[in-house]
């Protein structure tokens, strides 16, 4: 394979960001491109480019959100790829799950006490205990029913637990997805992370209290 940027990465470059920010492309259509990109990236090396400096601020923001709301807790990282989030994260127990075993084999934290990486499907995985934080970091685009997946994990949380979601914030379908999540779950906090022409929203969500709207 060549080192050409992945298809979606090229589409999000330069002026294309402005267009995709406004055009109401259904997420189901965008997912077709995302799944192609995912297959190519895993063939190339399991998303190793996510270690680039351009991604560092997003990972720091996600780690900070997890540590604020689940200090020294059980963190379930859904769609963890190479386990980059785990590197530098403070936790008592960490479980990273991903469908792509080649990416998991590159996880640098494998073998660290309290740390486990498992091959599993994000849509159906059930942890063996209630997590204090479930992280879905740049994962939801690839799932056929992303809102339902987030709600399912929210129901599995330990008391006081949170779901931490990171999504690209400068395309219409991803912003629409974030709005849907905020309607279904309580938004605890949200931060925007900007890197050049790109931006991500890191949102902390939890189940709504019974009877609340």
Q: Let me know: does 77 contact 83? Beta carbons within 8 Å.
A: yes
Q: Select from 92, 80, 68 the least CA-distant residue to 161.
A: 68
Does residue 211 belong to any structural domain of this protein?
no
pLDDT of 17 above 50: no
Q: Structurally, how many domains does the chain consist of?
A: 1
Does residue 212 belong to any structural domain of this protein?
no
pTM for the model stands at 0.80
Alpha helices, DSSP H only, in the chain?
A: 7-11, 16-22, 27-44, 56-69, 101-104, 146-155, 172-184
Does residue 75 belong to any structural domain of this protein?
yes
Q: Rounded distance, CA 177 to CA 163, Å?
A: 15
- Predicted confidence (pLDDT) per residue in 18-51, tens digit: 444 555 555 565 555 665 565 666 666 545 566 6
Does residue 126 belong to any structural domain of this protein?
yes
Sign of the Cα pseudo-torsion (117, 119, 122, 127, in order): negative
Does residue 170 belong to any structural domain of this protein?
yes
Structure tokens at 211: 């009877």
Q: Report pLDDT for 14.
A: 44
Residue range(s) defining the domain that contains residue 74: 7-206
- Predicted confidence (pLDDT) per residue in 91-111, tens digit: 999 999 998 888 898 899 988
Distances (CA, A) of 201 to 31, 35, 57, 164, 194: 19, 21, 12, 10, 9
Structure tokens at 187: 């938004």
Does residue 213 belong to any structural domain of this protein?
no
Distances (CA, A) of 42 to 45, 65, 91, 102, 112: 5, 27, 27, 7, 24
For residue 144, the domain's CATH number is 3.40.50.150
Q: Rounded distance, CA 130 to CA 146, Å?
A: 20
Does residue 96 belong to any structural domain of this protein?
yes
């Amino acid at each position: 394979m060549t080192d050409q940027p992945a298809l979606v990465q090229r589409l999000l470059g330069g002026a294309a960001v402005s267009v995709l920010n406004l055009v109401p492309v259904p997420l189901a259509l965008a997912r077709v491109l995302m799944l192609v990109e995912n297959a190519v990236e895993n063939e190339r090396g399991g998303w190793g480019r996510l270690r680039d400096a351009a991604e560092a601020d997003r990972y720091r923001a996600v780690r900070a959100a997890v540590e604020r709301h689940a200090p020294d807790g059980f963190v379930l990282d859904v769609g963890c790829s190479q386990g980059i989030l785990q590197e530098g994260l403070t936790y008592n127990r960490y479980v990273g799950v991903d469908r792509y075993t080649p990416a998991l084999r590159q996880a640098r934290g494998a073998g660290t006490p309290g740390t486990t990486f498992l091959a599993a499907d994000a849509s159906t995985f059930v942890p063996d205990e209630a997590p204090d934080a479930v992280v879905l970091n740049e994962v939801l685009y690839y799932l056929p029913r992303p809102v339902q997946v987030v709600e399912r994990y929210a129901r599995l949380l330990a008391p006081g637990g949170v779901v931490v979601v990171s999504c690209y914030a400068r395309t219409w379908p991803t912003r629409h997805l974030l709005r849907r999540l905020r309607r279904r779950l309580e938004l605890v906090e949200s931060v925007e992370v900007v890197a050049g022409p790109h931006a991500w929203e890191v949102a902390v969500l939890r189940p709504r209290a019974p009877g609340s709207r």
